[in-house]
Structure 1
Amino acid sequence: MTKTDLERNDGFSFAPVLNQTPGLFMQNGTLNTNRISIRGIGARSPFSTSKIRAYINEIPLTSGDGETTIEDFDLTLFDRIEITKGPGDVQHGSSLGGTIWMRTFDLFNNPNHFESKTQFGSYNTVSMTNQLTANFNHGWLNFRHSLLHSDGYRNNNQSDRQNFSLLGKVDGAMFGNVYVLANYTNAKAEIPSSIDSLTFVNNPQAAAANWQIVNGNEDYEKGTFGLSFQKDFYDANWQIASSVFYTFRNNYEVRPFNILDEKSDMFGIRAKGTYKKRIKNNPLEIVIGTEIFNENYDWQTLQNGTENQLSNNQENRFYYNASAQGDLKIWNSVTFNAGVNVNDTRYNLMDLFNPDSTKPKWKLSFWCNDFAPFWCRNRADVFRKIWRSSHLY
């Protein structure tokens, strides 16, 4: 999806943009509650996105338990979005449903400028974005601030979100390119929740009565930070790219049955090497890569009103991913592609509320490969994919 495709929408939500893609369906109950499915994969998750991985540049937006959140980012950050259906993207984890890869702008050689944009919509919806771009001899910086407010169509449906973003690039020539990404989000959104069919017909604006009584809402802050390096070696036959990233999220969610207080932080690295060569004038490309991150997730539930503790848990999640992929053009319109991905996820759960209870540990591993002869002629693409996965406990 190009910049033109991204701009062809209201700018308030990802749903109108992503739903242009055949086979992908994004549903949004509110601005902060979304679910994405690709070819039906992910449809069983009621109020979140699972079995689909997402990345902003080379920084993962999928947590250690497989949940993906993209709706907190401002759409104006992105220059294009690439979507892979099925586990064919071995470089990004071979997720069962697919991969959403969001790429930010490259503003090199753009003049220094300030830009402000305001949009208005129904139900007192207002979106305002201000950004400042500065160019210097060997790079650029872009800082932007965005606000989004909406009263919503339903009762108990007000949303407020604020984003601060920093993008940058330094061209070090012989030392390589360095990219910077930082995004901080602060949001509070009320939750109208689900209603029965009779209420939906007679009063669709109503919120679920039990959620409205307690003013159900989530109040959270989250940050995504990344530093990337890219360098060509040996007459550009080899390219090395690596990223270091850190994300955090603090959330306080009021619900009719209890209050959820959760905190998570994740630190990791991604690295890949790309080798390019011509064999009898046919281009060959081989990519090998890895991704490693460690996530800590602390959560507790509290009693409504008194805030007495009902549960207290700590989770540690470790994720490792290694991949290799090769592309060889063997004819004018035929490309042979093959890849393999191996990933390993480990969980450690500790119950602090009942310290004498069992402390389970378990391990889950996946192995996938992708074999895809690819045919392209006269702008028509015909392709065939075969993949296999194994699960080891």
Structure 2
Amino acid sequence: MKRTIPSCFLILAFLMFFLPQALQAQQLLRGKVLDARSELPLEGVTITAGSGAQTTSNAAGSFSLSLPDTPVAVRFSLIGYGSQVVTVAEPGQELRVLLQPDAARLQEVVVTGYETNRPLLETAGAISVVGREAIARFDESSVVRAVNTVPGVRMEERAPASYRISIRGSSLRSPYGIRNVKLYYNGIPFTEANGVTQLNLLDAANFSRIEILKGPAASVYGAGTGGSILLEPRRAEAGTTELQVGATVGAYGLRRYTATASSGTDKHNLLVQYSRQQYDGYREQSAMDRQVLLVSPEFYVSERQTIAANIIYSDLYYELPGGLTREQYAENPRQARGGRFGSVAQNASIDQQALNIGIKQDYRWSGSWRNTTAFYGVHRFKDNPFNTDYERNAYQELGGRTSFVNKGHIGSLPTTYTFGGEYQRGLEVARTYDNRGGTPDTLRTDDEVISKTGFAFAQAEVELPAAIIATVALSLNDTQYDITRLAQATSGGAYTFVRDFNAVLSPRVALLKKITDEIAVHASVSSGFSPPTEEEILTSEGTLNQGLEAEKGVNYEAGIRGAAFRNRLTFDVVGFYFRLSETIVSRQDVSSVAVFRNVGSTAQKGVETMLGYTLVEDPALFLSTLRVWGSYTYNHFRFREYQRNDLVLSGNELTGVAPHAATIGMDVRTKPGFYLYTTANYTDAIPLNDENTVYADAYFILGARVGYKRQFGSHIGVEAFGGAENLTDEKYSLGNDLNAFGGRYFQPATDRTFYGGIRVSYSL
């Protein structure tokens, strides 16, 4: 029977949501100012009354203003947005003001990457932002399609909720799960000390936006070679208390429900969200059921101090249909892996419960010093009957992160110093059994694994003359695994194995030059260090991979981003060259267990392009928004040195990487509230083995979403929507198994599907 969210968490959510309501103060005229598109709060909006009174909105978008009893006009203005005038007849009312962004605003998004909190235009590095609008272009059953609009990034779903992310080819060593990419949620590490990220424990509704840093960051996020992803939680709308419920239904038994309670004032911002998603499955043995409870409070204790927390409880069950051969894929893509050890016969699946709690404090000592410190804990259980074995483990982790920022000068040059550190320690109790029809049988291995990883970092950012910003950064990274084998079925007895990777210094140097107020160029050189994950050293069937070394790489990149044609055209183009040594690749053995080894080096060259053009942006017109956009990725990825026994593979294409990928889209919005989003994606043929003898076919898919969104009065908001995915009805494999044994490479994606839903909100 499927578990439900424990009552203690629901009680906690209830108390945290309703307790602050009793503390809200009444004001003469108060309200909130939001971005009309994202409905996120706007800070620094100038609010001017005809009487002469003036104020500005705070970080939560809230404001208060004393007005006379007579009607008065109030103007709201902010650079990058169209001004708006509101006539206030009753000063006691609460306003909700939506400002429409100018086209110029599109390239002024402030990013948190590298902890600089600068506009994207002033940030040296390949960074892409997936906003709430991009996530809402689709049915929100997953973030896969939204992330795949980003150049240089490919997200796969081998089965519902079985995610894999590749940033510039980083999935080479990830037969399943997310590895070699570091993730943070609200500035708190979400990737575990063992190197694995459980992204499927979160729901798409939990994000307001996703920042993707491509290539080695080599500074504030350690020195991984794959990249970093920063997940920002959704925040309550400033100045209101709102309740929202939503439901979506779709093909193959998709059922999705969300309930959200939010509150935002100048003293706190609180979000309590529950979501449940169920899916019967396109293929045999591909059902899933996930419940997520998120409590995300943020308290503005004073002008200097902010305290935030995340409490995430997740209960996830999903089935694993397994890979198919090309013949099986052509005959019936909906079948699961068959045979004596087939997915149905062995009930291949994952049943996992997790609790993740984090708390973060941001404190400003003065105008020049700031500190952000976070602590968190993770506790999860997992049962994983697989085709050839049965894994059962429990995992606990504690960790923390701190960073100090100081704004000073080197001579007359403004300089920002950032330094700090991060440490994580995890303990996993892992047992492997024979799998007898989905139940554990004879014990194979019993292990205890302690994972310890950490790094210290420092960064200096100097504003030079001629609108040049120079960044120099350095991180010192260390990782260690202590593996104690308590028991095993074969001979050998208990033993302890320690794998301590030498601490490595990884530097980063970057330059950015603003050519005009709308265009900037940037270049950087960075190095990366990526040790194997615990699952790469201790494979699922219990074998220790004692000789595996860490990957090391150097990345060179240069780019240009900005706007043109009166800010209607936005663009972001990056070229890079990444050289990786001690490259880790995976192969499946006869039992379908992934094994890993270092194979030499790779040379990865590419170009990533993002373009957008706004044809119409005027809230007064019936057709208020018409925008087209697109992304294109070119990858020339090759093995430089690779020989397996007598077989020379040097010069072959990098496994799992498409040479060309492109996405185009169109956004249409109308003044009455109707909208249309269309998205088309092309992916080139993908090599599925190191020998380059098997390829996944190229494919072109098209999706669309239509809807109607309107506010009725001051309290009720309604959105009704419907959409379709894979309108071209392509047969394609979204989650390929690389170097699969027995030719089982293909994990088919769904055919043409439809969905529809509704959201209703009520503002108190």
Structure 2 length as normaliser, TM-score?
A: 0.49
Residues 114 and 132 in structure 1, CA contact (< 8 A), matched pair in contact too: yes
Q: Secondary structure, in 3 states, of the residue corresponding to 1:92? A: coil
* 488, 507, 512: which one aligns with 1:374: 512
Aligned counterpart, 1:337: 471
1-structure distance, mates of 2:242, 2:507: 47
- 1:1-393 aligned at under 5 Å gives the runs 1=129, 2-88=131-217, 90-107=219-236, 109-135=238-264, 138-173=267-302, 176-209=305-338, 210-234=342-366, 236-278=367-409, 282-305=413-436, 307-354=441-488, 356-364=493-501, 365-378=503-516, 379-389=518-528
- TM-aligned CA deviation for residue 136 of structure 1: 5.8
Q: Secondary structure, in 3 states, of the residue corresponding to 1:271? A: strand
Residues 169 and 179 in structure 1, CA contact (< 8 A), matched pair in contact too: yes
Between 217-226 and 303-312, report the one with greater CA deviation. 303-312
2-structure distance, mates of 1:377, 1:152: 52
- TM-aligned CA deviation for residue 212 of structure 1: 1.3
Residues 447 and 484 in structure 2, CA contact (< 8 A), matched pair in contact too: yes
2-structure distance, mates of 1:108, 1:154: 40
2-structure distance, mates of 1:248, 1:257: 27
Return the letter of the residue paired with 1:320.
Answer: G
Q: Secondary structure, in 3 states, of the residue corresponding to 1:126? A: strand
Return the letter of the residue paired with 1:254.
Answer: P
Return the letter of the residue paired with 2:306.
Answer: N
Aligned counterpart, 2:98: none
2-structure distance, mates of 1:389, 1:109: 40
Residues 28 and 34 in structure 1, CA contact (< 8 A), matched pair in contact too: yes
Between 200-209 and 70-79, report the one with greater CA deviation. 70-79
Q: Secondary structure, in 3 states, of the residue corresponding to 1:199? A: helix
Q: Secondary structure, in 3 states, of the residue corresponding to 1:64? A: coil
Residues 42 and 52 in structure 1, CA contact (< 8 A), matched pair in contact too: no
Residues 218 and 526 in structure 2, CA contact (< 8 A), matched pair in contact too: no
Q: Secondary structure, in 3 states, of the residue corresponding to 2:459? A: strand
Q: Secondary structure, in 3 states, of the residue corresponding to 2:169? A: coil
Residues 89 and 98 in structure 1, CA contact (< 8 A), matched pair in contact too: no
Residues 166 and 183 in structure 1, CA contact (< 8 A), matched pair in contact too: yes
Between 277-286 and 179-188, report the one with greater CA deviation. 277-286
Equivalent pairs, count: 392
- TM-aligned CA deviation for residue 331 of structure 1: 3.1
Q: Secondary structure, in 3 states, of the residue corresponding to 1:71? A: helix
1-structure distance, mates of 2:401, 2:194: 18
Between 53-62 and 302-311, report the one with greater CA deviation. 302-311
Structure 1 length as normaliser, TM-score?
A: 0.94
Q: Deviations over 1:39-92 (max 9, x none)?
A: 112333111221110000122121223222323212222222111111125111
Residues 304 and 365 in structure 2, CA contact (< 8 A), matched pair in contact too: no
1-structure distance, mates of 2:213, 2:522: 13
Q: Secondary structure, in 3 states, of the residue corresponding to 2:172? A: coil
1-structure distance, mates of 2:466, 2:210: 28
Residues 216 and 527 in structure 2, CA contact (< 8 A), matched pair in contact too: no
- TM-aligned CA deviation for residue 25 of structure 1: 0.6
1-structure distance, mates of 2:378, 2:418: 26
Residues 32 and 189 in structure 1, CA contact (< 8 A), matched pair in contact too: yes
Gaps of at least 5 residues in structure 1 are: none
- TM-aligned CA deviation for residue 135 of structure 1: 4.3
- TM-aligned CA deviation for residue 151 of structure 1: 1.2
Between 323-332 and 96-105, report the one with greater CA deviation. 323-332
Between 334-343 and 136-145, report the one with greater CA deviation. 136-145
- TM-aligned CA deviation for residue 137 of structure 1: 6.3
Residues 116 and 130 in structure 1, CA contact (< 8 A), matched pair in contact too: yes
- The verdict on how the C-alpha distance between 1:108 and 1:126 changes in structure 2, with shifts beyond 3 A counting, is closer
1-structure distance, mates of 2:209, 2:459: 23
2-structure distance, mates of 1:48, 1:332: 45
Q: Deviations over 1:249-283 (max 9, x none)?
A: 21101112121101111101110000113557643
Q: Secondary structure, in 3 states, of the residue corresponding to 2:441? A: coil
Aligned counterpart, 2:596: none
Return the letter of the residue paired with 2:351.
Answer: D
1-structure distance, mates of 2:235, 2:334: 42
2-structure distance, mates of 1:163, 1:341: 35
Residues 86 and 94 in structure 1, CA contact (< 8 A), matched pair in contact too: no
Larger radius of gyration: 2
- TM-aligned CA deviation for residue 366 of structure 1: 2.6
Q: Secondary structure, in 3 states, of the residue corresponding to 2:146? A: helix
Residues 243 and 260 in structure 2, CA contact (< 8 A), matched pair in contact too: yes
Between 298-307 and 188-197, report the one with greater CA deviation. 298-307
1-structure distance, mates of 2:265, 2:324: 55
Gaps of at least 5 residues in structure 2 are: 1-128, 532-548, 551-764
Q: Deviations over 1:96-134 (max 9, x none)?
A: 110000111343633111101112222111111101123
1-structure distance, mates of 2:209, 2:243: 22
Q: Secondary structure, in 3 states, of the residue corresponding to 1:68? A: coil
Residues 304 and 364 in structure 2, CA contact (< 8 A), matched pair in contact too: no
- TM-aligned CA deviation for residue 141 of structure 1: 2.2
RMSD: 2.0
Between 196-205 and 131-140, report the one with greater CA deviation. 131-140
2-structure distance, mates of 1:276, 1:102: 26
2-structure distance, mates of 1:173, 1:309: 56
Residues 319 and 350 in structure 2, CA contact (< 8 A), matched pair in contact too: yes
Q: Secondary structure, in 3 states, of the residue corresponding to 1:127? A: strand
Residues 141 and 167 in structure 1, CA contact (< 8 A), matched pair in contact too: yes
Q: Secondary structure, in 3 states, of the residue corresponding to 2:504? A: strand
- The verdict on how the C-alpha distance between 1:146 and 1:172 changes in structure 2, with shifts beyond 3 A counting, is same
2-structure distance, mates of 1:213, 1:232: 59
2-structure distance, mates of 1:388, 1:189: 37
- The verdict on how the C-alpha distance between 1:63 and 1:276 changes in structure 2, with shifts beyond 3 A counting, is same
Aligned counterpart, 2:600: none
- TM-aligned CA deviation for residue 31 of structure 1: 2.0
Return the letter of the residue paired with 1:375.
Answer: K
- The verdict on how the C-alpha distance between 1:281 and 1:113 changes in structure 2, with shifts beyond 3 A counting, is farther
Residues 177 and 196 in structure 2, CA contact (< 8 A), matched pair in contact too: yes
Q: Percent identity?
A: 20
